[in-house]
Amino acid sequence: EDEDDQDSTFTIKILAEGNNIVYKYDYLIEVADNAKEAMDAQMESSKDTFKSISDAIRKECAAVEKVIYRYYDINGELIASYEF
């Protein structure tokens, strides 16, 4: 675990898993039943930005293979995961 940031909605942890960097978002509030669909839609509209960020990380650290974003609900259940 490299870094931990927190606000009132979720915590963010940046983890290393092998040669991957994982941004782990843990929601501290209840999320809607359709949260995955909403996240999928948001990720689709923002995927170029996430890809650019991931490419920049890999440019700075050649050992990084993937940048992964994982979102968990208040009960620790995975809502969605995206890899770049």
Count of beta carbons in the 10 Å neighbourhood of residue 54: 19
- Tens of pLDDT, residues 19-46: 999 999 999 999 998 999 999 999 999 9
pLDDT at position 8: 83
pLDDT at position 6: 52
Residue 4 has pLDDT above 80, yes or no: no
- Residue percentage of the chain with pLDDT more than 70: 92
pTM: 0.84
Local confidence band at 58 (pLDDT 50, 70, 90 cut-offs): very high
pLDDT at position 17: 97
